[in-house]
Amino acid sequence: MAEKKKMVEAITSMEEDFAQWYTDVVKRAELIDYSSVKGCLIIKPAGYALWENIQADLDRRFKETGVENVYMPLFIPESLLNKEKDHVEGFAPEVAWVTEGGSEPLEERLCVRPTSETLFCDFYKNNVHSYRDLPKVYNQWCSVVRWEKTTRPFLRSREFLWQEGHTVHETAEEAEERTVRMLNVYADLCEETLAIPTIKGKKTDKERFAGAMATYTIEAMMHDGHALQSGTSHNFGDGFARAYGIQFTGRDNKLHTPFQTSWGLSTRIIGAMIMVHGDNDGLVLPPRIAPTQVVVIPIQQRKEGVLEGARALADSLSEFRVKLDDSDRSPGFKFAEQEMRGFPIRVELGPKDLEKGSCVVVRRDTREKYVVEISKIRDFVAELLDTIHTDMLERARKHLNENIYEATDYREFKDIADNKPGFIKAMWCGDVECENKIKEDLSVTSRCMPFDDQTPISDKCVCCGKAAKHLVYWGKAY
């Protein structure tokens, strides 16, 4: 099929150059476009529809746990940003500053929010007075700005869309519970909706969020074995509350400082979805998030009855996100486009199928074909969408599990880092010096200390040989 070739040839194969494959896919599947604003992207309809579906799903999960949405200002006065020492050190170097407004210089510079801890703290300081005001479990959906030097679609850009949750609690236990709970919400979203298995764990101090007491993360493995931090949840203890002077009268009638958390997930997750599931023909979208789940393509559509039949077939699938492609382009072009855009199921209907009362169903993920009676198509599609989800998740889990290696000494560690894409399980003494050395030598960073896998595989640090404290998953990361 010439058309198929033409549409697909612009994609570099992932074996040849994974980074270029990624860039080709996001561009050819029309998810994004570059803009005249350096480092900022345009999210096109096919890309934004993915974010809308993710947003709807995650927002529902949030609300089930009692989250309320709010909206805080885009700008942060410099003096407010400066109140928490670690936080400002972490973010000040990469913010954008507004210095003029309404044709006049501002008295105080305003930074465009890189994250909104400072604004939420300022708000809570004025709105939390008694234990009766607690907990507050707020979230906002917004865009944030970080002045990155190098940018990549969805993975790193100067502006990106995300949600940021910010909570205040009466006790440290409650804050810890909320931190873990939200991490689990992210992991559930990844598995149940995006078909992405993740590893949950705690970040080392070096990789912790600026100002947090503990950062929990979900780490996903891309097709090339690289890690992508896909969502984080932070326990702030009472550090921010002390810095911003948040206090409440407790049940004992005395003044107390509350405990806080924050948690965020961004459009980066779209990048993860592409790099976990995509193939050399383009996107492979998880069915539960695909803006189009089924595309119906008539074959020889000018023959009598074909278009009507295709329309009736699409109508019978109206409970799914279905699209009839009755444009005047060739079937071959339409097949290639469906593959590039990653729609999970394609249904073909031609004159011969019509005669037999059946249609041809093709899965995007495995390309398996099925001949299905038209009268049974609704149930078949419902089941197949679920099967595709389960299979995609299992394939991704297999890929993850098969690419986790153990290393008990540095030579082994280096050998894996140099030659085997994936995660490396290795013991660590807890010293940042070792982390720094590993990063410098091998371009490998600590991804997390996994919750579910802390059985020591040796008693020595893989780097310095001193007594090991933690089992860490290491890897190259996006």
Contacting positions for a copy of itself (CB under 8 A): 33, 35-37, 40-45, 48-49, 51-52, 68-77, 80, 92-103, 109-110, 112, 119, 122-123, 126-127, 138, 142-143, 145, 147-149, 158-159, 161
**Residue closer to a copy of itself, measured from CB, 112 or 417:** 112
Beta carbon of residue 282, minimum distance to a copy of itself (angstroms, whole number): 19
For 191, residues 6+ apart whose C-beta sits below 8 A from its C-beta are 197, 198, 393
Q: Measured on CA atoms in the order 465, 466, 471, 475, is the torsion positive or negative?
A: negative
Beta carbon of residue 161, minimum distance to a copy of itself (angstroms, whole number): 7
**Residue closer to a copy of itself, measured from CB, 120 or 428:** 120
Containing 379, the helix (H) or strand (E) segment is helix 377-402
HSE of 258, CA atoms in CB hemisphere, 13 A: 30
Q: Which amino acid is at 462?
A: V
Beta carbon of residue 296, minimum distance to a copy of itself (angstroms, whole number): 19
**Residue closer to a copy of itself, measured from CB, 42 or 312:** 42
Q: Which two tokens stand for residue 41?
A: 């992207």
Q: Are 365 and 392 in contact (CB under 8 A)?
A: yes
Containing 177, the helix (H) or strand (E) segment is helix 172-188
Beta carbon of residue 231, minimum distance to a copy of itself (angstroms, whole number): 20
Structure-token match 């298995």, residue found: 197
**Residue closer to a copy of itself, measured from CB, 145 or 361:** 145
**Residue closer to a copy of itself, measured from CB, 103 or 318:** 103
Integer Cα distance of 81 and 66 in angstroms? 28
Q: Dihedral (C-alpha) 271, 273, 277, 280: value to the nearest 10 degrees?
A: -30
SS3 of residue 366 by DSSP: coil
Integer Cα distance of 305 and 327 in angstroms? 16
**Residue closer to a copy of itself, measured from CB, 110 or 189:** 110
**Residue closer to a copy of itself, measured from CB, 16 or 102:** 102
Beta carbon of residue 238, minimum distance to a copy of itself (angstroms, whole number): 21
SS3 of residue 361 by DSSP: strand
Comparing CA positions, the residue from 278, 264, 177, 271 lying closest to residue 220 is 271
Comparing CA positions, the residue from 116, 111, 124, 115 lying closest to residue 75 is 111
Beta carbon of residue 174, minimum distance to a copy of itself (angstroms, whole number): 19
Beta carbon of residue 48, minimum distance to a copy of itself (angstroms, whole number): 5
Beta carbon of residue 46, minimum distance to a copy of itself (angstroms, whole number): 9
**Residue closer to a copy of itself, measured from CB, 68 or 383:** 68
Burial of residue 416 (number of CB atoms within 10 Å: 0-12, 13-18, 19+): buried
